[in-house]
Amino acid sequence: MSRPPLKVALLQDTDRGSRTANLDAIEAGLREAAAAGAELVLLQELHNGPYFCQNESVDTFDLAETIPGPGTERLGALAAELQLVLVASLFEKRAAGLYHNTSVVFDRSAEIAGKYRKMHIPDDPAFYEKFYFTPGDLGFEPIDTSVGRLGVLVCWDQWYPEAARLMALAGAELLLYPTAIGWDPRDDEAEKARQRDAWITVQRGHAIANGLPLLACNRSGIESDPSGVGAGIQFWGSSFVAGPQGEFLAQAGTEGRQLLLADVDMQRSEDVRRIWPFLRDRRIDAYQDLVKRFRD
């Protein structure tokens, strides 16, 4: 039996300078999404504040919040009121000295349906996440919701085909990536284009290789380095929704706030996997070396 199209929404936005202002903007966006008929809404990575990983500061840990906590209470209440499946992204305080980059899913309810802790943690200029985040320990487990099984991953996870594949093998019906990625403003236009194209291409590849729709919601705007050492980050937006053959269903621009809406045909994964049966043809008898760091 065929499934009706799923209307999804991605809320791409800039940091508005305070937690209250960001949450107010999110609430306005969720109300707009619900009015447009969206059932599933994906927010960008660490949406309650600035992308704070441009430098290392122990004071920044004060931004972290418990899950559940005040942040999930407000978002959960909105998910229940607006009858939305909502994927949020928070800086989780699990215990003193133990913090995670965590996505939280609400299923038309104030109760938390599930969460995912970011597994791949970068440590690069302007992206010093290893200082703040402990690698996730919940594995690659989809979260069951009323709109389907969500394979929620976070930002840096999007460069790893293993993560998307494991979500697909566990039965995920959509892949979702809350994201915070951008350019060094000092890079030339050619380098900027290469980086953005690589980011889009690798994720479209995950959609194709697994025969699944994919949603990627990125930040936009320029955020300065609080330490004054770096040049800041110019987040490139470009949030998008792709179908199971990597086709664009919707794509945002590189700048500014945008509520991106798309209709996802949930039946197409079944149809595509019948003509491109990649899961059938996997040589699982020959993949043992994938668990090695490198073949010396």
Around Cβ 190, how many Cβ atoms within 10 Å? 8
Could you give the CA distance from residue 38 to residue 145 in angstroms, rounded to a whole number?
Answer: 15
Which residues, in sequence order, are CB contacts of 275 under 8 Å at separation 6+? none
Which residues, in sequence order, are CB contacts of 276 under 8 Å at separation 6+? 211, 245
Residues 229 and 192 sit within 8 Å (Cβ to Cβ): no
Instruction: Calculate the alpha carbon distances from 167 to 18, 37, 160, 293 in Å.
Output: 34, 27, 12, 21
Around Cβ 42, how many Cβ atoms within 10 Å? 30
Tell me the catalytic residues. 45, 118, 155
Nearest to 178 by CA among 117, 94, 253: 117
